[in-house]
Structures are given as structure tokens and as C-alpha cells.
Amino acid sequence: MIDREQLLPHLGDPRNADILVHVGGRLLPRQDARVSVFDSVVQGGDAVWEGLRVYDGRIFMLDPHLDRMIDSAKALAFADVPDRSSIKQAIFETLEANGMRDGAHIRLTLTRGEKITSGMSPAFNRFGPTLIVLAEWKPPVYDNAAGIRLITSAIRRNTSQCLDSKIHHNNLLNNILAKIQANVAGVDDALMLDVAGFLSETNATNVFVVHGGRLLTPHADSCVPGVTRATVLELAGELGIPIEERNVSLTEAHAAQEMFTTGTMGELSPVIELDGRQIGDGACGAVTRRLQDEYAKRTQLLGEPLPF
Ligand SMILES: Cc1ncc(COP(=O)(O)O)c(C=O)c1O
């Protein structure tokens, strides 16, 4: 196992070396925080997850994230899904144990649980799901002032005919293949198209394009129905920015005045280059900045208050 001294130079924030992680009802030091080799997430990526962010003593959009997780578990026919209040309790306990009231990101995972033998069938699951609350000190992961660079991946997002993106699951291999292409190309992330060749999302975030003064985003058919995406659509409506949820072509993205991505992990990130084409002026555009500012105000005002 990697020891603490080996970890430290790679952590960004050294406090992450000593975090406590909630696994299956117990708070454990990160070195001991493990699931069984019989766990469904090991056997088949059979788990659902959410990313959450803590701002100034509140968890932003906690209930919408829990709605998506509980709905995803229901769609996958998990048995004995913990109720919302016990999931919240585990999250609060983890944050309190780590003294985290701001600047933290939570990776919340619910696996189908341990199996009695290796294999695919949920009939081998007899012990109920495993809940994991992994909270780390982590600022937004992209450079939201300077912007990010993307390429278009050759890997398409799943359609609902194959694996419905409304299930927020841990089978992330098609996104990981796209991310490998981005890494090889030396850019931040990869844009993924749907099977018809229209924009879907990046390997990790939803996408928006500003074209002719209108805000365009794909329907949440083959992209994750992002909580940040929904907030941005609401904010744009309030600001009177015309919105079109529709098929968006790659040409419209290449020729966009502005483009940005959204997600809990990275918030709103301007895209300054796509496939070697500069987007707009190659800097964060006015519409993106306005939405970034409004989003930042919301994160300071709303959210589930921490009880400690
Ligand atoms: C593939 C993908 N797209 C988009 C998102 C953004 O979703 P949200 O805004 O709910 O964080 C996520 C976040 O988990 C994701 O994994």
C-alpha cells in the first residue's frame, strides 16, 4: 500500500493525507478505507454515485443529488437502499470528523453491496448496499478564469437504448476511454458526441454553447442530467438569456462565440479551444462570466446547513 510520505507530494492539499472515510457504517483512516473484493463495485462497477460540494457551512443542492442517487439505485433494483436521512447522517458525520465546513468535495457512492461469491447476478447480493462517503479538501478542479481546452473524442456517449444516462452509475469506461484521448492530446477533457453525432457532454461535465446570443445545450438524453446544468438553465431563465435545449452540432460548437462546461466538481468552466479551433476570443466570454457570478452567489446562499 502507498504510505503517507509517498502520497503527500501528490495530494494538492496535505490535509488529504489524514482524512477519515465513511465505509459501510464505519469511519476509517484513508489507508484502511476499503471495500471487500466481493463488493459489487469491484465485481461489475455495480454502484451509483454523486459528487457534492461544501460551501461555507452548507452542502449545495444536497437533495437534488440524493434524488438522483436514490432514483438511480431504484432503477438498478438495489435492495434495502438506505433512507435519505441516514445517508445525510453519514455525510454529516464524515464532514464533522474531518472538520470540513468549506472547500470540500464529497464523492458519495452506494454499491449494490457484498456478494456471497464472485459473479454478476444481483441474486448473490445478500447483505444490502455499501455506502461510501469520501470527502476531500478540493477546490474546483478546472481553471475557471483562464478556461480549458477540449478535443472531440471518437468514443460516443451511451444512448438510453444501451445504458440510460439518467442512471448515474459507476460504469464509467466509455468516459474513461474519452479521457484517455484527452490526456494523449494534452488537453483538459474530451467532448463526447451522441450516436447521431450531436454534442452530448464531456467525459465529466455537461456542455453549453453560446451562439447568436442564445444559450444552447443538448437535451439530457445521452448526457447526465446534471444538477449544475439544471441550475444554469434556471439562472439563464432568470437573467433573460434565451435558451434552446436541442440537438447541437459540432459545427455550432466550433463556431460558437462562447462555450462552457458545468459540473459540481468544476463549477462553470469556459472552453477556450475545441479541436484546435479557438472559441470566441479565446477567453472567458461575457455570458459565461455572468452565469459564473450568479452561480457563485447561489452557492453562498443556498444549500443544506451542516448541523455542527
Ligand atoms: C459524465 C458527467 N457529466 C456531467 C456531470 C455533472 O453533473 P452535476 O452537475 O450533477 O455534478 C457529471 C457529474 O457527476 C458526470 O459524471
Q: Which of the four pLDDT bands, split at 50, 70 and 90, describes residue 5?
A: confident
> Each residue of 69-103: pLDDT tens digit?
999 999 999 999 999 999 999 999 999 999 999 99
Q: Does the CA dihedral 126-127-128-130 come out positive or negative?
A: negative
Supply the DSSP symbol for 31. Answer: G
| 4 pLDDT above the threshold of 90 | no
State the distance from the centre of ligand 1 to the C-alpha of 61, rounded, in angstroms: 13
Three-class SS state of 90: helix
State the distance from the centre of ligand 1 to the C-alpha of 291, rounded, in angstroms: 18
Q: In 10 A of CB 67, how many CB atoms?
A: 14
| 230 pLDDT above the threshold of 90 | yes
| 52 pLDDT above the threshold of 90 | yes
Q: Where are the domains of the chain?
A: 4-137, 148-300
User: Nearest residue CA, atom 3 of ligand 1?
Assistant: 205
The CATH number that domain 148-300 falls under is 3.20.10.10
229 pocket-lining for ligand 1 (C-beta < 6 Å): yes
What string of DSSP letters covers 184-235? HHTSSEEEEE-TTSSEEEESSSEEEEEETTEEEE--TTSS---HHHHHHHHH
Site to probe by mutation for ligand 1, drawn from 189, 264, 268 as the one with most ligand atoms within 8 Å of Cβ, is 264
- 1 against 144, higher pLDDT: 144
State the distance from the centre of ligand 1 to the C-alpha of 245, rounded, in angstroms: 17
> What confidence score (pLDDT) does residue 228 get?
98
Q: In 10 A of CB 119, how many CB atoms?
A: 12
- 12 against 165, higher pLDDT: 165
Supply the DSSP symbol for 114. Answer: B
| 152 pLDDT above the threshold of 90 | yes
Place of cell 455550432: 252
202 pocket-lining for ligand 1 (C-beta < 6 Å): no
| 305 pLDDT above the threshold of 80 | yes
The CATH number that domain 4-137 falls under is 3.30.470.10
User: Nearest residue CA, atom 4 of ligand 1?
Assistant: 205
68 pocket-lining for ligand 1 (C-beta < 6 Å): no
Nearest to 199 by CA among 240, 169, 244: 244
> What confidence score (pLDDT) does residue 3 get?
75
Place of cell 444512448: 159
> What confidence score (pLDDT) does residue 11 get?
83
189 pocket-lining for ligand 1 (C-beta < 6 Å): no
User: Nearest residue CA, atom 5 of ligand 1?
Assistant: 205
Q: Which of the four pLDDT bands, split at 50, 70 and 90, describes residue 12?
A: confident
Average pLDDT, the chain: 96
State the distance from the centre of ligand 1 to the C-alpha of 6, rounded, in angstroms: 30
149 pocket-lining for ligand 1 (C-beta < 6 Å): no
Residue 263 sits at the vertex; the CA angle it makes with 261 and 264, to the nearest 5 degrees, is 150
Q: How many CA atoms lie within 13 A of 13 on its CB side?
A: 15
Q: How many CA atoms lie within 13 A of 69 on its CB side?
A: 28
269 pocket-lining for ligand 1 (C-beta < 6 Å): no
Site to probe by mutation for ligand 1, drawn from 66, 108, 192, 205 as the one with most ligand atoms within 8 Å of Cβ, is 205
> Each residue of 160-187: pLDDT tens digit?
999 999 999 999 999 999 999 999 999 9
| 44 pLDDT above the threshold of 80 | yes
Site to probe by mutation for ligand 1, drawn from 72, 206, 232 as the one with most ligand atoms within 8 Å of Cβ, is 206
> What confidence score (pLDDT) does residue 8 get?
80
Q: Taking the model in full, what pTM does it have?
A: 0.96
Across residues 267-281, what is the average pLDDT? 98
> Each residue of 127-150: pLDDT tens digit?
999 999 999 999 999 999 999 999
Percent of the chain with pLDDT over 90: 95
